[in-house]
């Protein structure tokens, strides 16, 4: 049964391993995945812990339905205190690891302490071993996985690991599995590196008993039909997520030259169609691949073309975020550059978004004379110089020269560089925003300002706000499963009703992260895709656990409030729920008529942020009220039940 998958508490300092069942009451309160991880981190980590010290705690998990009869249940979540932001660190990636972890008998691993020397964990059929990792320390993400599989004598072993970026404590290092499945954002790879934990290998052959197998199969057939019939997923299945970047660039919603422009011109070779041609030439017609149990197949495969660094090397992607990070932000409209840079960050385990953003920030500083040739070690760090981009990625991964400063993240780097450099950062809570520009879209701007892990689109971005959906359609979506009678607007430039849209999507994303389903299988980019009522049925047919859509909503609300409590405990305040000044002061220079000239209005933005707090049951300082905590059963946390 999925409900009998266990949690293991692993102390790398002492070598002690404790394995526990997950009580049913905890499943009802948190389901699993990210929501239960928030509980485990809040309960197991000492307040004020050094993010790169032994008191920090890493939690690794799959969702409740991982490995079950449901589509897209392949997500792996990792959380810890972030070395980049000092707040709730969290990342979520696809691939095959979480399913293998479930087949090995586990849904959650809580990892404490610090090993004396490099190690990796081997999780297999109810057992966990701490093994010597000296032979894989210093290897790339790709080589590490090959070596561990060979050592364990089993090609079916799935490995979650870090590259040299994590070993070198780059504060935005990824956790990776497979070639490109990335747990990016907030530096979870650096936390693993600080514990001398190179990897976690999983192999399982333990069956997962399905509560109602026939009904689960029948329901999943309809689920799959719904997902694969959506135009947005059909497009992704042909050319990957790269089409999102092209669509967004067409109306002026991307960052270019750090934040100087909002549209990349002459960028035909950055478009997904051009990159798809390279995939077809170098791999063949069947060049799309998928994560465990997914029918969308949104992942292109490619080899780097001749004439470029790493020519002939095989990789996967790029996602639309890499197009923004390595083409738009540094002002380099060349598709092959995106492919090379994508390979470099995958190999060394760096966050695409943070890497591209911080280099683009440094490029703006260089062009403004804040950084000099002496500062860059002789590197001509102007916008458009792709050779400088490649070299700076390498220097960040291995902490050389200016790369060592940038590896500390934007705010620490700005403190060191000085000279008013901080005002050119495009970050929230210490994490760089992705490649998008939200000055024309107040709902999307609010999302990145209040997100629980810093500027982020995967915490609650109401992307369908851009579709100009009729008000009755919006009303149906945003009144499920909790009634909502407030205002809604079909105009993406409006401020009306946007606070509720952000809350709704935050709960939607927390819900799928708890269940373990990919966000592309829910109301993220497609208005008709599954959400709360569908998860309720999938949970029941697979596990036998009866949960109403409303109960899942409250699980999501509970999890989101726990992340908020964690951040407040670590020192964040309502002042952190705010945008960089450039959003308010510099209008969009390019784009569609409805976008050009737009910027965020400070007063209106403060008003929707206050509305957001009210919807959440938080006071004017963004603190959950005692009544809210009692309603959600959080008034006695940390409770140390698990």
Distance separating alpha carbons of residues 504 and 497, to the nearest angstrom: 11
Q: What is the pLDDT of residues 395-434, one digit of tens each?
A: 999 999 999 999 999 999 999 999 999 999 999 999 999 9
What mean pLDDT do residues 309-320 have?
Answer: 95
Distance separating alpha carbons of residues 404 and 396, to the nearest angstrom: 6
Distance separating alpha carbons of residues 560 and 459, to the nearest angstrom: 10
pLDDT above 90 (res 101):
yes
Residue 315, by phi and psi: left (phi above 0), alpha (psi -120 to 50) or beta? Answer: beta
pLDDT band at 195 (very low <50, low <70, confident <90, very high): very high
Q: What is the pLDDT of residues 449-496, one digit of tens each?
A: 999 999 989 999 999 999 999 999 999 999 999 999 999 999 999 999
- The pLDDT score that the predictor gives to residue 525 is 86
What mean pLDDT do residues 54-60 have?
Answer: 98
Residue closest to 17 by CA, chosen among 109, 80, 104, 101: 109
Other CB atoms within 10 Å distance of the CB of residue 168: 22
Beta bridge partners of 132: 119
* CB of 96 closer than 8 Å to CB of 198: no
* CB of 62 closer than 8 Å to CB of 291: no
What average pLDDT does the structure give for the chain?
A: 96
pLDDT above 90 (res 526):
no
Q: What is the pLDDT of residues 252-290, one digit of tens each?
A: 999 999 999 999 999 999 999 999 999 999 999 999 999
520 phi, psi to nearest 5 deg: -75, -5
pLDDT above 90 (res 151):
yes
Q: What is the distance between the terminal CA atoms of the chain, rounded to a whole angstrom?
A: 20
- The pLDDT score that the predictor gives to residue 1 is 79
In the DSSP assignment, the letter for residue 618 is B
Distance separating alpha carbons of residues 209 and 216, to the nearest angstrom: 12
* CB of 93 closer than 8 Å to CB of 184: yes
Residue closest to 320 by CA, chosen among 165, 424, 451, 461: 461
Residue closest to 135 by CA, chosen among 100, 169, 161: 161
Q: If 0-12 CB within 10 Å is exposed, 13-18 middle and 19+ buried, where does residue 450 land? A: buried
- The pLDDT score that the predictor gives to residue 527 is 86
């Amino acid at each position: 049964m999925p409900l009998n998958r266990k949690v293991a508490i692993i102390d790398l300092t002492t070598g002690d391993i404790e394995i526990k069942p997950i009580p049913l009451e905890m499943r009802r309160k948190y389901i699993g995945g990210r929501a239960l991880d928030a509980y485990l981190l809040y309960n197991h980590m000492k307040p004020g812990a050094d993010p790169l010290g032994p008191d920090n705690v890493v939690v690794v998990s799959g969702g409740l339905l991982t490995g079950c009869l449901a589509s897209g249940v392949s997500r792996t979540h990792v959380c810890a205190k972030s070395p980049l932001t000092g707040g709730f660190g969290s990342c979520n990636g696809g691939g095959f690891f979480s399913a293998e972890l479930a087949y090995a008998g586990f849904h959650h691993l809580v990892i404490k302490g610090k090993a004396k020397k490099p190690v990796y964990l081997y999780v297999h059929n109810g057992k966990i071993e701490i093994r010597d990792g000296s032979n894989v320390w210093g290897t790339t993400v790709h080589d590490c996985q090959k070596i561990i599989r060979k050592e364990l004598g089993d090609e079916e072993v799935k490995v979650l690991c870090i590259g040299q970026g994590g070993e070198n404590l780059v504060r935005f290092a990824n956790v990776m599995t497979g070639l490109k499945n990335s747990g990016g954002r907030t530096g979870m790879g650096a936390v693993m590196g600080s514990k001398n934990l190179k990897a976690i290998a999983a192999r399982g052959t333990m069956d997962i008993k399905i509560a109602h197998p026939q009904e689960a199969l029948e329901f999943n057939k309809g689920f799959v039909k719904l997902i694969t019939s959506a135009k947005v997923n059909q497009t992704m299945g042909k050319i990957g997520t790269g089409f999102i970047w092209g669509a967004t660039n067409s109306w002026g919603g991307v960052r270019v030259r750090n934040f100087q422009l909002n549209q990349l011109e002459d960028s035909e070779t950055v478009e997904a169609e051009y990159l798809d041609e390279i995939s077809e030439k170098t791999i063949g017609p069947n060049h799309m691949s998928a994560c465990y149990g997914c029918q969308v197949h949104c992942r292109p495969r490619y080899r780097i073309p001749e004439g470029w660094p790493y020519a002939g090397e095989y990789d996967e992607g790029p996602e639309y975020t890499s197009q923004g990070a390595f083409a738009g932000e540094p002002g380099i409209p060349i598709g092959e550059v995106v492919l090379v840079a994508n390979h470099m960050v995958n190999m060394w385990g760096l966050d695409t978004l943070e890497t591209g953003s911080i280099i683009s920030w440094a490029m703006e500083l260089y062009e403004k004379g804040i950084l000099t040739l002496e500062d860059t070690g002789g590197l001509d760090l102007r916008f458009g110089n792709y050779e400088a981009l490649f070299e700076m990625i390498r220097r960040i991964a291995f902490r050389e020269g200016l790369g060592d400063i940038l590896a500390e993240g934007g705010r620490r780097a700005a403190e060191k560089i000085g000279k008013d450099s901080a005002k050119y950062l495009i970050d929230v809570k210490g994490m760089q925003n992705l490649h998008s520009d939200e000055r024309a879209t107040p709902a999307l701007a609010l999302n990145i300002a209040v997100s629980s892990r810093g500027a982020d689109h995967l915490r609650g971005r109401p992307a369908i706000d851009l579709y100009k959906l009729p008000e009755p359609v919006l009303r149906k979506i945003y009144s499920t499963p909790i009634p909502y009678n407030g205002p809604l607007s079909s105009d993406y430039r409006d401020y009306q009703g946007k606070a509720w849209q952000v809350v709704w999507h935050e709960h939607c994303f927390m819900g799928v992260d708890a269940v373990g389903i990919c966000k592309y299988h829910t109301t993220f980019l497609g208005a008709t895709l599954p959400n709360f009522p569908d998860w309720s049925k999938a949970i029941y047919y697979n596990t036998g656990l009866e949960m109403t859509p409303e109960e899942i909503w409250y699980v999501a609300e509970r999890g989101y409030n726990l992340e908020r409590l964690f951040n407040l405990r670590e020192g964040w305040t309502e002042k952190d729920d705010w945008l960089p000044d450039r959003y308010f002061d510099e209008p969009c220079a390019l784009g569609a008529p409805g976008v050009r000239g737009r910027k965020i209005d400070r007063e209106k933005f403060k008003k929707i942020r206050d509305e957001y707090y009210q919807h959440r049951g938080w006071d004017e300082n963004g603190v959950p009220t005692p009544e809210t905590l009692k309603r959600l059963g959080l008034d006695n946390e940390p409770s140390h039940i698990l």
